[in-house]
């Protein structure tokens, strides 16, 4: 089955740029979606189709996808961005949704 690999944690200082990766075999050929989840809350979609932002999501959030790695980039990081982030793809060869293991973003 298809596997998505994320780093367990990423730390960044306020105002800097955070990059969270999501690795998968030829993931560049798939559409990647990203979700943010704060403690005790339901997930929130922050990026869909690799790089599109839903309404209400700040422009500081962006995404890219190529080769074997998709990346969620958060610019000018704020304390309120501290959360767990999950990547997701639809594996059409198996008709299965796959989530990455999640990355905890810590704002120093």
Partner 1 sequence: EVQLVESGGGLVKPGGSLRLSCAASGFTFSSYSMNWVRQAPGKGLEWVSSISSSSSYIYYADSVKGRFTISRDNAKNSLYLQMNSLRAEDTAVYYCARGADYGSGSYYVYWGQGTLVTVSS
33 φ, ψ to 5°?
-120, 150
Alpha-carbon distance of 2 to 32, in angstroms, equals: 13
Residue with Cβ nearer partner 1 (26 or 93): 93
Interface mask (CB under 8 A) for partner 1, residues 40-79, using x and -?
Answer: -xxxxx--xx----x-------------------------
Residue 44: helix, strand or coil by DSSP?
strand
Task: Find the helix or strand (DSSP H, E) in which 62 lies.
Answer: strand 61-66
Rg of the chain over CA atoms, in angstroms? 13
Name the one range near partner 1 by CB under 8 A: 19-27, 60-68, 69-77, 97-105.
97-105
Binding residues for partner 1, rule: CB under 8 A, are 1, 31, 33, 35, 37, 41-45, 48-49, 54, 84, 86, 88, 90, 92, 95-102
């Amino acid at each position: 089955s298809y596997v998505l690999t994320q780093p367990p944690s990423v730390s960044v200082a306020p105002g800097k740029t955070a990059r969270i990766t999501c690795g998968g075999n030829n993931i560049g050929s798939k559409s990647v979606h990203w979700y943010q989840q704060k403690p005790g809350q339901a997930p929130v979609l922050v990026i869909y189709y690799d790089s599109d932002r839903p309404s209400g999501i700040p422009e500081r959030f962006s995404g890219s996808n190529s080769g074997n790695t998709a990346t969620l980039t958060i610019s000018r990081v704020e304390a309120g961005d501290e959360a767990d982030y999950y990547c997701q793809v639809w594996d059409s060869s198996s008709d299965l949704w796959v989530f990455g293991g999640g990355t905890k973003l810590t704002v120093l």
